[in-house]
Amino acid sequence: MPPQVGERPKPVAGSPIRRYPQHPSRLWKRLYYDGWQDDHFLFEKLVYYQPNGLHPIDLGDELHDHRFRVIHKLGYGGSSTVWLCRDQSKDRPVYVAVKIFHAGFAETECRELLMFKVKDEGTDDQEHYLCLPKERFISESPNGTHLCLVFPVLGPTVDQAASIFEEEQNSSSILRTISRSIIEALAILHRRGICHADFRPANILLGLQSLDGLPEEQVLAQLGEPEEEIIHIREDSLPTPDIPYAPKYLVYPVDFHDTSPSFILPRAVVIDFGQAVEAAAEKAPPGIPANYAAPEVILQGSGGQEMDLWSLACTLYEVRVGQQLFDVPQLIGVDERDYEEEISTVLGKPGHGRSDREVAREIGKRAFGDDMTLEKEQWAEMLAGLLRYEPDERLKAQDLLNNAWFGRDS
């Protein structure tokens, strides 16, 4: 058996001598788990578990003076992990999602907390469409001090909608409902003067039936029991230092494909406002992946609310088809020529671009082949109105709510 974290087996006689790092900031290089080549995309990177890095979390850990007990993992990102927790301060079972940032991430850097202002100033039903923090607290770990935000529990990302609901009798109507709620969410943000700047399926979740009131056993029966991958430690001939910076194991996130579709709600909720800006005050940073990025983001390095509209089209395509509209080659960075060549396969070349009708025809061909109907044509035409080279010419989110496609019964 490979040694686990903290174990120190005797070196094998005759084995080549190799020196592994001793410094705390490089101890992560000693860590590994079985199957990392196959499952690496399911876990946060081990390099993040070092001083000033991620918070080591094990199932059953208790946070915020023992108030929140970790029972499953919901997801992770480059700067945080998200955990399903039971709120033990309540008499009845209550469940929340706790997002834990890497150490050193200050509240003043957290754009998600700026959304409290949006929440306070808003008059429409924003909490139905925007996932805003309910509260915040601080947690200490061997890696430092971590900002933690408490959110309601939500379901899978919207790019999974097509596969989750494909067996439902009214699947096309369900996907239309989800698409409308995505547009409504963006319209709310834009009315508040906010540019999300990272508007893509990974940051838009489907709703979930409330878990509150259910015993933990029933919650885990619905979501699946958590599965772990043990973290092992590489040894050498020198004494191995303690490695308190990583958890004992990595936890697979909830796989919502194993959950009954009836438990998942056909409405979208926008999350992760880490790149959001007030459009009138500053330009958005160019952090969104190229497959969802508008031309001005890739070619000019920034954008305004109009960049969200381009990303909206890419997202709506993925909700309906279950695949990405664009596939820009990305090895180290993004080559502008590769980007322009890829989007031109749909839009044509800048300055000599295709008409909306031609763009819609290409979108429909990619999505459905020759199996086109009037409903599919209307859907493709709606997306074509968002995929325009000139930012000011893109359809506005609020106007899309009156689009002919939403007036259909089938």
Would you list the DSSP string of 95-158?
EEEEEEEPTT--GGG-HHHHHHHHHHH--S-GGGTB---SEEEEEEETTEEEEEEEE-----BG
* Rounded distance between C-alpha atoms, residue 286 and residue 294, angstroms: 10
Beta bridge partners of 136: 149
How far apart, in whole angstroms, are the C-alpha atoms of residue 108 and residue 346? 41
The span from the CA of 82 to the CA of 367, in Å, is 33
Q: Is 117 annotated as ligand-binding?
A: no
Q: Which residues contact 302 (CB under 8 A, 6 or more apart)?
A: 283, 284, 285, 286, 296
Q: Is 333 left (phi over 0), alpha (psi -120 to 50) or beta?
A: left
Please state the φ and ψ torsions of residue 62, each to the nearest 5 degrees.
Answer: -120, 135
Cβ atoms < 10 Å from Cβ of 161: 28
Binding residues: 99
Binding residues for ATP: 99
